[in-house]
Structure 1
Amino acid sequence: MNLPQAYAARVGSRLPDAEEYFACLDRAPERGARVNTLKITAEDFLSRGILQTDGAVPWTEDGFYIKEEKPGKSVAFAAGLFYVQEPSAMCTAPLLGAGEGERVLDLCSAPGGKGMQLAAAMRGRGVLVLNEKIPSRAAILSENVERMGVANAVVLCADPASLEERFENYFDKILVDAPCSGEGMFRKEPAALAEWSEANVAMCADRQKKILTSAEKMLRAGGRLVYSTCTFSEEEDEANAAWFSKQCGMTLLREHKLWPHRVRGEGHYAALFEKQTEERPRARFGKNAPADKKAAALWHSFEKEFFREPLRGELLSFGNALYLAPEGVFPLAGLKVLRAGIRLGEVVNGRFEPAHALALAAGRENFCNVNELNEEDAERYLRGEEAAADGVKGWCVAARGGFPLGLGKASGGVMKNKYPKALRRQ
C-alpha cells in the first residue's frame, strides 16, 4: 500500500513493529458480523448455519468472523438477525457495560453498529438515545434501528453541543465514537487514506475535544463514558484521553488499542472513564403530550387482534404517525426526532394501518397471525411479490424460520405484499 510519507514516518518512529504493520496493509481485511441477540441467541444462530463463520471475535460474546462476501443479501439479514460489523469495532460497546433500565447515549452513532450492541445489552429496558449530527447518516441509522428491531431507542439528529443544557447530568452511560482521521481503516476504506494529512489529524483532535466536553456535561456523577476512534494517532487517542481526564475531572479506568497486524481486525482505540465529580441535580423533564385519542383507540383495537399480549411503552403522536416510545422517555418537543421507539402505524381513512417496524420490533411469539414462508417465497416477498397464505386472513406477519420479515394482508389464500417499496430487492 502506498502510504503518505509523513504518515509512514510517524508510525515508523512510534511503533516498534512498524514493518509488520506496513506489511499487513496489503492483506485483505477481515469480515465480521454480530448476532442480534434481541431476536436470536448466538447458539441458535450458529446451529442454523445462517452464515459461514470462521471463529469467534474474542472481545465480544456474540460476534463472529465470516466468510460471506455479501451477507446483506440473505433473508436473515432482512429479518435483522445479524449486523455486519468490522470485528475490531465490536470491542467498544462491551467496555461501556450498559445494562437494563439505564439511560444510555451513543452520541455519534451512525451507522449504528455500536448502538445495536448497546441495545442488545439493555434488552429493551431503559432509554437508549442514538444521535447523529449529519442528516443523511442519521437516516441510515434510523433504518438500521428498525431492521434490528430495537424498541427502546430514540434516534436524534443534533449537534452534540446543542444537547448539553437539555440533558445536563442525565445519562448513566455515554459512548463517544468520535469522527477521526481513520488511520485504522486504511486497508478497508481507501477514502480515509486519500484524505489523510497531519492537518486533518490536528483538526480531528480538536473536534473530538469539543464533543467530549459536551458529553461530560450530559453524564451523571459516577457515570461511565467510553471514548473511541478508528485511528492510531496519539493526538486523537492517548493525548485526548489524558486531556479529557485532566480537563473534565474524568478518571481513566482502562484503555486499549487494536492494530491489524496483532489482531484479526482493523485498527481501533477505546478508553473507559468514570465521572468523579460531586453529585449535581440531574435534568428533570415534564411529560410528552398525550397521543391522539382517536388514533390511540384504533391502535388498541388493532393490538387486541394482532398480539397475544399488549406492548409496553408510552403512546406518542408525530403528525399522522403513532409511536410506542420507551417507558420513562424524556419530552421530545424541540428535538429533531427520526424515531421514538417503535413506529406503530397511522390512521388512514378511519382505519389503523400498521407500520413495517411493528413486525420487526415485537417479539415473534407475540403475534397472533403469522404466515410462515419457505425460502423461495421469502425471497419473492422481499422483492415485493405476493405469496400464498393458507389459513391466514387479514393483517399478518410474513416470516421465515419463525422470524418476521414484515407485514402482509391475506385474503382468499393470497397474501398481498406490504413490504416497504424502498426496501424491496431487485
Structure 2
Amino acid sequence: AFKAGAETVMEPNGRMGMSNMWAWDEAPEPQVFPKTPWALPLTMNDFPYPRDHHGQWFWESGFDKDPLHDAEGIRDWNLRAVFGAFQAMKNGGGAQDHTNAKLTWIAYIGGPRESRRVLGDVVLTQDDIVSKREFSDGCVPSTWSIDLHYPKEQYAQKFPDNPFISIAVHDRRVDRSYGYPIPYRCLYSRTIDNLFLAGRCISVTHRALGTTRVMQTCGMMGEVVGKAASVAIRYGQTPRSVYKNHWAELGELLRVPGKASRETPTAPIEIPDDAMLLASSSGPPTGIDPAELANRLSGIVQDDHEATYQGAWQTSQGLKGYVGHGYHYAPAGSNATATFTLKSPAKGSYDVLVTWQPHPNRGNSVPVSVNSNDAVSSITFNMKKNPPIENTFGKAGQVEVEKGEKITVTIGTDDAGGNAHADAVLLVPRK
C-alpha cells in the first residue's frame, strides 16, 4: 500500500511490539540443555518466571525499532531473550529447580502488533470508541478495551534500549457488554481507489489501534471486506462508491450469516442449516443465550424482543433465568397479547414450548394458544409456579408441519389471574 502511494501513518517510536511466545515442560528424567552464548545473558531476576510452563504474550520487544525493515531483528532479539531465560533456568540460578525441564515450543514467527496504518475516509479515534459514537456505516462490532503495550520497567533495566518484557495498559472506559462500531470507511484507502483494508493496517489512530487490532475483530473486518468486494465486482464500483451507492445492499449482505456462501457475486446465496442466528442489536445476551439454547435442544428459539405486542406490556430483567435480554409482562384483563411467529426448519412433528420465570404476582391461568395449519389449540399455565419441564419450559402444544410452515403462539391476559409473562417460545423436534 505504501509503495503504491497510499497515505499512511506510523508512530515514530513507542509503538506496540512483537511477541514470540514459548513453552516448556517437565520430563520424567533429567534433561540437558546446551550452552547458548549467543542468547541474552539473563539471570532469574531479569524476566518474569514462565508460570504454567508458558512464556506468554508479554515476551515482547521492538517498541522503538522499525517494525517493517527490522522485523527479523526484532524476532531474533525475542528468541535470544527466550533462550537466555531458559539458559538461566537450566544452567544458571534456576538449575536446581529445573533438572527435568525441557523447552518444548517457540513461536519462530513473531506476532507484531503495530506498524503502518493506511488512512481512509474515516480515522477512528479513542474518543469515538469511548463515547460509542454512532456511524451510519458502523459494521464491525468490538468489545475489547483500548489495550496498549509498553515496556515493563521492572525488566527494562538490563537492556533499556531494547526491553523484551511488556505490560498492557487498558483504558477500560470501553463498554465491554455492548461495544462500539468500526465504520466501513476505515476499511479502504482514501488515496488508492481500489484498495480495501482489514487487520492492523486499517484507518485508526495509535490509541484506537489498541482495541481494533485483536484477532477476532480483524477477522470480522475480513468478512465485511469480502462482502463489500463482491458488491464492488458485481456493479463495477470502488470501495468508496460501494458506501455511497450500494450501502443498503451491503447492509443486507452483512446480515447474512458468516457461513453463507455463493459461487460467484451474482449467484444465489446458500445458507447452511447450522448457521448461527443473527446477533441482537441489543448486544450479547444477559440471560440464557438463545443460540445456545436452540443448539442444545436442536430446535428454534424466538426471544421476546422478536414478538409482536398489542396492549400495555412492560419489560424487565428482575426475575433471573430469562432467555436473551429480559422478558415482557402485562396485567390480567388488559386485552394485551404477545404473538410469536416461528417457521419450521423441516417437515416433522414438533413440541411448542414457552418459558417463564415464576412470581407470586404472575397469573395462575395465563392463556396460550398455538395456531398451525389454521388449527388452534389452547392451554393455560400457572405462572406463579416453576414451569414443569426442567423448571424452564411449559408445553403449549404439538404440531405436525411441512418445511417452512409458520406457527404462531399467542400469550394473552384474559382471565389470567395475574400478570402474563412473555419470555421465549421454542419449536423443538419431538423425540
Q: Shorter-normalised TM-score: what interval?
A: under 0.3
So what's the TM-score if we normalise by structure 1? 0.22
Larger radius of gyration: 2
So what's the TM-score if we normalise by structure 2? 0.22
Q: Specify which structure has the higher proportion of helix.
A: 1
